Amino acid sequence: VSATIFSPLNIVLALLFLISVPLLLKGMLPKSNENWEGYSGQRSSFEEPESTVIETPADWLENNRGITILISVLALIYLINHFAGKGLSGLNLNSMNLAFLFLGFLFFIKPIRYVKAVNQAVSGTAGIILQFPFYAGIMGMMKLSGLVDVFSATLVNISNLWTFPIFTFFSAGLVNLFVPSGGGQWAVQGPILVDAALQLGYSTPKTVMALAYGDQWTNMLQPFWALPLLAITGLKARQIIGYTGALMLLVIPLILLALLVS
């Protein structure tokens, strides 16, 4: 702990953020609250309007039946294969959660209808219930396919003692967009980077911190961590991304400078 959380590197960065982040947020504070958006106190309804206007690619995805059918069929194929090989012993929380999740997709057929229905039933945890299984699936594919290994190894091969912490930081930030879980990311990327640090003769604690900084850095673009907060406040990710994106740009030079001089 003394070499990571309570290291001079981390303490100095924390103090810099404690000063700079509030100042930046203060500067971005709207001058008036006329355009305030947030929780209205009204429960949402999953009933679809008579006509849905498709104006953006996001609208098309939200109302696309083909996507729902595709992912549900894939889930069905997996479950059939799973129970064919294990029988009733394959019945566990994971298989039950998967079955119920994709049965819901089939019942509502359009993704947006399913989202609204879950949000009405459990508004505080809707994002977690629907999105976490997909994040876990992405993490599993990246780990089992060896994609993270290849990606991390490539960065190591072009690194030296000066550039290694920088590449570690950026690689962790990129992987975090697909595996937005600190523990999950460490499980798939941490051992590779630590082994690379040992080969290069670089500090293991600083490698751990560089990975942690990269993970936290792109959290400003990956709203995984904010799902409960968004549910409570009634906001959408797009309404906070502008602010968190500005913070992401602010911390880049501070972190890179700290990693280089430490």
pLDDT tens for 131-154 read 888 878 887 887 788 887 787 778
- Length reported for the chain: 262
Q: Which residues lie closer than 8 Å to 112 by C-beta, 6 or more apart?
A: 48, 62, 63
What is the DSSP secondary structure assignment for residue 226, as one 8-state letter? Answer: G
Report helix, strand and coil shares of the chain as percent, to nearest 5.
Answer: 75, 0, 25
Could you give the count of Cα atoms lying within 13 Å of 246 in the half-sphere of its Cβ?
14
pLDDT band at 254 (very low <50, low <70, confident <90, very high): very high
Looking at residue 46, its pLDDT comes to 47
Residue 223: CB partners within 8 Å, gap ≥ 6?
Answer: 230, 237, 240, 241
157-215 residue pLDDT tens: 788 888 999 999 998 998 888 877 777 788 778 888 888 888 888 999 999 999 999 99
Residue 115 near residue 130 (C-beta atoms within 8 A)? yes
Task: Give yes or no for residue 216 having a pLDDT over 50.
Answer: yes
Which structure tokens are listed for 62? 């939200």
> Does residue 118 sit in helix, strand or coil?
helix
User: In this predicted model, what pLDDT tens digit does every residue of 47-95 receive, in sequence order?
Assistant: 554 456 777 887 888 889 998 999 899 999 999 999 999 988 999 998 9
pLDDT of residue 259: 92
Sole residue written with tokens 């505080």: 124
What average pLDDT does the segment 22-30 reach? Answer: 88
- Token pair belonging to 102: 């994709």
Tokens of 87: 């029988």
- What would the pLDDT profile of 99-136 be if each residue is shown by its tens digit? 999 999 989 989 989 988 998 888 778 878 888 888 78
pTM of this prediction? 0.73
Residue 83: the pLDDT is: 93
The pLDDT, as a whole number, for residue 96 is 92
